[in-house]
Amino acid sequence: MIATAPTAVDTLEDAWRSWDSFPACPSPLRHPLRALGWLVSLGAGVVSLVIILSVLAAVPIVNLLVLGYMLEGEGRVVRSGRLRDGVPLAGALPRLGAIGFGTWAWLLVVQLVAGAAADAELVDPEGPAAAAWRRATTITAVGVGIHLLLAWFAGGSLAAFLRPLRNARLFVRALRSGTAWSGAADRLGAGLALVRPRHLFSLGLRGFLGAALWLVPPTLLFSAFRNTQRPAALLVTLAGGAFLGLVLVCVPFLQARFAAEGRLAAFRDIGFVGRLFRRAPIAVVTAVVVLHALSLPLYLAKVIVPPRDALWLITPLFVVTIFPARIAVGWATGFALRRERDRWRILRWLTAAVLVPAVVLLLALLFITPAIDALGRRVLFDHHAILLPTPF
């Protein structure tokens, strides 16, 4: 048999598989330092992922990428039934964490030198010490900037941030061979192909529209009560509340099915949620309670409207609460789909008896939210747990 060289498609698929799951941890007994480095890199990767998602979630339109990323993870959990599949590109987290941690550590050096220069400037602005610290700040900033660029070029591992001479040799070697710029462009293109931003944006946009079509009509009815002297408005609000309560229970599972199948038609099959409930009532009710319980504190974060450029400071709260809740809904959906028989009727009645008061309590809290929220009645249309993971 004649061996053939791997094609670009094969290489991309291999890279996707390597990025699609958490990398194995080295044995702590055989390689304690490697295991510690893996743990630090993974932890830093999770923090870096939250920061990236938070920054993107604070940008209008771009936050659809964040919704698409969450739906991608939710859909994978529905298909596989494994919680560990709920973090797309999980295999890249250690490298992402290494890049984030290494970059932060070296920028901290620049910040410390700049702080010392500022102190010297306050003591004696025209003195030789202040001039020396100004020169040191410039030299440090330029040197760290070059070192970071070379460390990123060398792959961004933790070792790359500690070996500047090796990075320089690799860059000079690539320049001599004529592959420096083309290789960097190829790696950047391959990284974007693995992230698939177009797919995530499309998934987020369609998932948003499908859920919004269900949520907007009952929310309009629910927000109609403004004049206590008009009983008709109260009746409309009560009808809208009943409709909204049903939608808030069903739409998360319809959205999870859409995330798994990629079909907008999944939003039309309302009976799908009933089938899930009959097969796994406890899992379904638990997922609903967790989803909306984690979303309620987010309304408190909007009592005061922060400046637009400060939104990224509070969006991490939205990411770290909504993302796990969506994964819980995805797991409950997949778990129910794998059940072949309906559960006992008495069990379904008992879980429904728990769900109904929980939904009524949720609606009551939503009803009073406009009175304390800075945005008034508009806050009722946000539905953070189902729509965009952004404060405003």
Give 248-272 as a DSSP string.
HHHHHHHHHHHHHH--GGGGG-THH
Per residue in 101-110, pLDDT (tens digit) is: 888 889 999 9
Instruction: Say what the pLDDT of residue 9 is.
Output: 38
Provide the Cα torsion 176, 179, 182, 188; round to 10°: -110
CA 57 to CA 380: how far, in whole Å? 19
Instruction: Say what the pLDDT of residue 16 is.
Output: 43
Handedness of CA 26, 30, 34, 39 (dihedral sign): positive
Per residue in 334-378, pLDDT (tens digit) is: 999 998 888 888 988 999 899 999 999 988 888 887 766 656 677
Predicted TM-score (pTM) of the model is 0.78
- DSSP structure string for 118-130: HHHHHH-TTSHHH
Residue 11's pLDDT band, with cuts at 50, 70 and 90, is very low
Instruction: Say what the pLDDT of residue 272 is.
Output: 92
Q: Mean of the pLDDT values across residues 257-282?
A: 92
Per residue in 189-213, pLDDT (tens digit) is: 776 777 788 999 999 999 999 999 9
